[in-house]
Amino acid sequence: MENLDVMVLRTLRDWRTAGKRGLLATVVRTWGSSPRPVGSIMALCEDGAVVGSVSGGCIEDDLIYRFTQAYAGKDSANEIPSGAPGFVKYGITADEAHRFGLPCGGTLELLLEYDPDASALAELVASLESGKLMQRAVRLSDGAVTLAQALAPAELDVSDAELVNTFGPEYRMLMIGAGQLTEYLATMALFCGFAVTVCDPREEYRGAWSVAGVKVVSDMPDDVVTAFRPDRRSCVVALTHDPKLDDLALLEALKTDAFYVGAIGSRRNNDARHDRMIEHFDQTEAGLARLRGPIGIYIGSKTPSEIAVSVMSEILAVKNSVTLPRDMHVAHAKNERQIKANDPGDLVCGIPRRVA
């Protein structure tokens, strides 16, 4: 599954290029809880087709109803307008929040752009497909769009004069090793919008690969990392348990801006990996601080599929800037699980019972 923003913009480009009317809705402000974050986009075609999301579905349904009645010949007053963009709020009252499926107290505001220019959409999509980070500025007085390459990701910004949204290329994941765990993790990464590359020079592993939509390469992993050129929207995960394949690739990844670099293995294996890198490759503990291991959030996983869930959860948490208590969460969870396994009566709501 490709990046959602790119899919929305590409689909809207195709509608507009074909001469169909359409609108682009962008979440510009939220108050309280909200189903989708600021910057989320969706596109609506004159025939009622929708791609993307700004809510759990009810706001999309309302926009479809409001702006597609004319196309169906039911209400000439309700059609996609023309002219300057407009703002609309949902969830202002408790009744509206309930009607539109917003969380209690949630309110969101959308900017609606009517009939965005097809050529500007085509230029934006082409830039994103070539791997560029792009800034799209919309002048609120008339909807005119200005595009520029961005130097760094940025939050959406809206003023009295314009809205500026930054769109980035797909998040990318490079995995070393083409085993069963990699297949599960690749499948989850694809569903989460990552472009996935798998590297394994071992033919016996590559030959059994079965996940469509993944690029599989056979060069040595450290060379692949160099060619991959990880950036701040990239992660590198080593999954072979083989130091000859993992170690050099991880060291190359640590030289880059990858937001996540990690390797499978136990705490003992992770300690051994650090020792090797310090002894043989002149690394320091400070230089290895970004190397994650054991990877994954502890959920008691034993099967490859559950381990993949654990690893994907950690990658998404890091991507979304969620702080993870790396120093204690595995040991704490294992200790609590062991206590419960020995005597469930020793736990009260998951907390060890105090002993006098």
Q: What is the DSSP string of 244-303?
A: HHHHHHHHHHHTS--SEEEE-S-HHHHHHHHHHHHHHH---TTTTTTEE-S-S--S---S
- The verdict on residue 165 lying in a domain is no
Of 95-109, 136-150, 293-307, which gets the smallest average pLDDT?
95-109
Say how many domains are in the chain. 2
Residues 215 and 103 in one domain: no
Per-residue pLDDT, 3: 73
Residues 237 and 180 in one domain: yes
Per-residue pLDDT, 79: 76
Per-residue pLDDT, 105: 54
pLDDT band of residue 104 (cuts 50, 70, 90) is low
- What phi, psi does 111 have (nearest 5°)? -100, 125
What CA–CA distance (Å, rounded) separates 273 from 258? Answer: 20
pLDDT band of residue 354 (cuts 50, 70, 90) is very low
What CA–CA distance (Å, rounded) separates 208 from 205? Answer: 6
Per-residue pLDDT, 73: 58
Q: Is 330 a residue whose pLDDT tops 60?
A: no
Residue type, 84: A
Per-residue pLDDT, 101: 59
Residues 104 and 246 in one domain: no
* CATH code of the domain in which 214 resides: 3.40.50.720
Residues 24 and 85 in one domain: yes
Q: Is 270 a residue whose pLDDT tops 80?
A: yes
Per-residue pLDDT, 350: 37
Residues 121 and 175 in one domain: no
- The verdict on residue 265 lying in a domain is yes
What count of Cα atoms within 13 Å lies in the side-chain half-sphere of residue 231?
Answer: 12
Condensed to tens digits (0 to 9), the pLDDT of residues 20-57 reads 999 999 999 987 766 678 999 999 999 999 999 888 67
- The verdict on residue 348 lying in a domain is no
Assess contact for 165 and 108: CB atoms under 8 A.
no
- Edge-to-edge strand order for the sheet containing 260-263? 215-217, 194-199, 171-176, 234-238, 260-263, 291-292
Residues 314 and 195 in one domain: yes
Of 24-28, 170-174, 256-260, which gets the smallest average pLDDT?
170-174
Residues 220 and 311 in one domain: yes
Q: Is 323 a residue whose pLDDT tops 90?
A: no
What CA–CA distance (Å, rounded) separates 85 from 139? Answer: 9
Residues 92 and 185 in one domain: no
- What number is the average pLDDT over the span 334-349? 50
Q: Which of 100, 93, 115, 111 is nearest to 45 (CA)?
A: 115
Residue recorded with tokens 């991959």: 228
- The verdict on residue 164 lying in a domain is no
Residues 97 and 11 in one domain: yes
Per-residue pLDDT, 55: 82
Residues 115 and 186 in one domain: no
3-class secondary structure, 339: helix
pLDDT band of residue 352 (cuts 50, 70, 90) is very low
**Percent of the chain predicted with pLDDT > 90:** 61
What CA–CA distance (Å, rounded) separates 3 from 122? Answer: 16
Per-residue pLDDT, 250: 97
Residue 50's domain comprises 4-125
What CA–CA distance (Å, rounded) separates 82 from 325? Answer: 51
Q: Is 294 a residue whose pLDDT tops 60?
A: yes
Q: Which of 167, 134, 170, 164 is nearest to 28 (CA)?
A: 164
- The verdict on residue 350 lying in a domain is no
Assess contact for 191 and 213: CB atoms under 8 A.
no
Per-residue pLDDT, 1: 47
Q: Beta partners for 30?
A: 108
- The verdict on residue 154 lying in a domain is no
- What phi, psi does 211 have (nearest 5°)? -95, 115
What CA–CA distance (Å, rounded) separates 254 from 291? Answer: 7
Residue recorded with tokens 């009622």: 48
Q: Which of 288, 300, 289 is nearest to 329 (CA)?
A: 300
Residue recorded with tokens 């959920």: 299
- The verdict on residue 237 lying in a domain is yes
Residues 205 and 294 in one domain: yes
Residues 181 and 117 in one domain: no
- The verdict on residue 55 lying in a domain is yes
